[in-house]
Structure 1
Amino acid sequence: MNALSQTTAHIDRTTLWTVIILLGLGSFGLRFMFTGLVGNRAMPEWVLRHLRYTSVAVLPGLIASAVFFPTATGGVPDPARLIAAATTIAIGVTTRNVLWAIVGGAGSLYLALYLLG
């Protein structure tokens, strides 16, 4: 037996497919509420104002775990990712251009990984 098969928990196929189908239906239901039920109606101004901040609220939560607890280093923060995050923020704030921030952050990550080993 290899190490992977020893640590993997076995799940009943019926349970697995039940969970997959229920999660798919739940995901479809949430999307349908906005596109199917509300999609052709005008939303109130206060809802639109709050929806503008969705990406600003979600993206840092997604990125923070990759910067501060990267799986590549076993969950230990490393200088290369911290440098890349700081560079990305600096370029984004300075230029107000998402593409330049992404390119600059990716470039600084690869450069820092190369230089720091």
Structure 2
Amino acid sequence: MIDRWELWLVIAGLGLGSYAMRFVFMGLVGRRPLPEWALRHLRYTAVSIFPALVAPLVVWPEATGGTLDAPRGLAALAALGIGMLTRNVFAAMAAGGGVLFVALYWF
């Protein structure tokens, strides 16, 4: 277990780091317009977060002890396919959840 003072040091460090990242955009950039290249890159930030959160849960699921299994793989493929076809995040999540529910029942 981590010592109490080390825990508070980590919490304070994470808080300062989070504040510093937000201050760069809100405090330093503020009301100045961002260049076109920065706006173009920031457009893809939200799109990249969802796969980054989901991929570890598919490849190393905690429910199976870290081994890849068929239901989660099928659900990820269904969500990817529906997402590419419809370009709708909610449809992709519903398809992936539905396939996972059915596949866990079958396997």
Q: Whose relative contact order is higher, 1 or 2, with alpha carbons under 8 Å and at least 6 apart?
A: 2
Give the aligned partner of residue 80 of structure 1: 71
AA partner of residue 61 (structure 2): P
- Name the Cα RMSD after superposition: 1.4
TM-score by length of 1: 0.83
Give the aligned partner of residue 94 of structure 2: 103
Give the aligned partner of residue 62 of structure 2: 71
Are 2:50 and 1:55 equivalent residues in the alignment?
Answer: no
Identity of aligned residues (%): 53
Name which one, 1 or 2, has greater alpha-carbon Rg. 1
TM-score by length of 2: 0.90
C-alpha distance in structure 1 between counterparts of 2:93 and 2:30, whole Å = 31
Matches of residues 37-56 of structure 1 in structure 2 within 5 Å? 37-56=28-47
SS of alignment partner, residue 41 of structure 1: coil
TM-aligned CA deviation for residue 32 of structure 1? 1.8
Q: Is there any run of 5+ residues in structure 2 with no aligned partner, and where?
A: none
